[in-house]
Amino acid sequence: MKTWKIAVGSMRRPKLNAVKEAASQIEPLLGEGTGLDVTGYQGESGVSHTPTSRKELMQGARQRVEALQESLRAQGMAADFFIGLEGGLDVVVENDVKRVFLESWAYVSDGSRGHFGCSGSIELPETLAEEVLSRKTELSQAIDQFAGTVGIRDGQGAWGVLSRNLISRQESFRLAVVAAFAPFYNPKMYRVSAAAGR
């Protein structure tokens, strides 16, 4: 059996579990006898504690991968895939109303090419958005205050609080990872797409 190593730029349980769950779904699509081994590493995003734009979310996910690749290389370690995960906010103006959405992004690289995936979005209540954007409170602290509990980001996350646990933080990252991995487990479609664009 061939085992490919996935290095994840995070040690957070919901993020690692999301990648492990996604890996179990992706394994059969990579070919018979292929396994994926997921390991988390401490990683830095190089962006603010709570990104506030889609651009910053994508940048944070990509930079986590770049920092992870550099760190593992310096230690003489290797991986077949590198994954960076970043959660935060995307602020848009729709019909003259500012709306703030929580999003989870993933960036997957095989060391030579990389692709992004996103979970979708859930709108933040105005008071929570105001706390994060205007008062610069980290989202993990703001959601704890908002929900009246502690340690939400290591459990259901803001996604779980806002969706009444219909969508957890882990699930949002799982979707992002599955989406970002698509060019690797469905290469035929992406080659067709690239050829058609020429």
Query: Is residue 107 assigned to a domain?
Result: yes
Does a structural domain hold residue 139? no
Across the range 38-57, mean pLDDT stands at 92
Kindly state whether residue 131 falls inside one of the protein's structural domains: no
> What does the pLDDT look like over 103-156, one tens digit per residue?
999 999 999 999 999 999 999 999 999 999 999 999 989 988 888 887 777 778
Identify the CATH number of the domain in which residue 77 sits. 3.90.950.10
**Domain ranges, residue 34:** 2-124+168-190
36 within some domain: yes
| Residue range 69-91: mean pLDDT, rounded | 96
Question: Is residue 65, in this structure, part of any structural domain at all?
Answer: yes
Instruction: Report the alpha-carbon distance of residue 117 to residue 131 in Å, rounded.
Output: 27
Percent pLDDT > 90 in the chain is 77
Cα 183 to chain center, whole Å?
16
Task: Count other Cβ atoms within 10 Å, centred on residue 150.
Answer: 10
- What pLDDT shows up at residue 31? 81
Mean pLDDT computed over every residue of the chain: 92
Beta strand residue intervals within the chain, DSSP E: 2-8, 34-40, 81-94, 97-109, 114-123
> Tokens standing for 118?
């996103």
The number of distinct structural domains making up the chain is 1
For the residues 175-180, what does the mean pLDDT come to? 98
Do 142 and 131 meet the contact criterion of CB atoms below 8 Å apart?
yes
Residue 138 lies in a domain: no
Tell me what pLDDT residue 2 has.
86
Q: Is the pLDDT of residue 193 over 60?
A: no
Tell me what pLDDT residue 197 has: 52
pLDDT band for 43, please (50, 70, 90 cuts).
Answer: confident
For residue 17, what pLDDT is reported?
A: 96
Q: Count the neighbouring beta carbons within 10 Å of the beta carbon of residue 72.
A: 17
Predicted TM-score of the model (pTM):
0.91
